Amino acid sequence: MLGDSLSAEYGLKRGTGWVKLLEQKLAAEKIPADVVNASISGDTTSGGRARLAPLLATHKPTLLIVELGANDALRGLPLKESAANLQAIVEAARQAGARALLVGIQVPPNYGRKYTEEFAAIFTGVAQQTGSPLVPFLLKGVADDPDPVRWFQADRIHPKEEAQPRLLDNVWSVLGPLLRAPAGKVGKAGRASKA
C-alpha cells in the first residue's frame, strides 16, 4: 500500500483505518496475504515514486495499491507531472513483478470545474495507458454524501473512523475480484496474485 494520509490513519486511533480493515477482511475471506502499509502523511506522487524502489525490493509485492495525488492537488503541482509519476510507479511495480491498482481521488469543486475534471482524468488516463485497474474515487459515499461534514475530522480533509468501512468498500469493489481472479485472467493489469 503506497499512499498518503488518507491511508496512513491520520488523526485516527491506530488500527482503525481502511488499510487495517482491509487486512482484517482478507483474513475473514481466507485470502492468504500480507499487507504492508507504506503510506506516509503528506506524501505526493513524486515522493511515492522516489521511495518506491527500496519498498519493492524489500517487500516483493505481487500487488501494489497506489493511493497518491491528493497532496499534489493541494500544493498545486502540475497535473502532467502527477500523471507521469503515477505512470512511472505503475511501470516500476510491473517491472518488479507486481500488478498495480490505482485508487483515484477527486478535489472539491472550489478548485474550479476545469481543474477538477482534469485532475480526475489523471487517474483514468494512467489506468487506461497502463491497463491497470482503477478505483475511481476513494471517498465515494463520504465526500459526495449530502451531509459530508459528519464523515470528516475537524480539518474537513481526513475522514473519521466511521468513514473507514466505506473507503474499504470502495477499494474492495475492485480489489476483491482481482484477488479472486485465476492465474492469467487479469488481462493487461499484470499477472495474477500469489495470494
Digit-coded pLDDT (tens) for 125-153: 999 999 999 999 999 999 999 898 999 99
State percent of the chain over pLDDT 90. Answer: 85
| Among 130, 128, 151, residue whose Cα is nearest residue 140 | 151
Question: What does 85-109 look like in DSSP terms, one character per residue?
Answer: HHHHHHHHHHHTT-EEEEE-----G
- Give me the active site residues, please: 5, 155, 158
| Among 42, 41, 47, 37, residue whose Cα is nearest residue 15 | 37
- pTM exceeds 0.85, yes or no: yes
CA distance 149 to 137: 18
Contact between 168 and 22 (Cβ < 8 Å): yes
Residue 185: predicted pLDDT: 44
In this predicted model, what pLDDT tens digit does every residue of 50-79 receive, in sequence order?
999 999 999 999 999 999 999 999 998 999
What residue type is 64 in one-letter code? L
Structural domains for the chain: 2-181 (3.40.50.1110)
CA distance 66 to 43: 12
Angle at alpha carbon of residue 47, lines to 127 and 126, rounded to 5°: 10
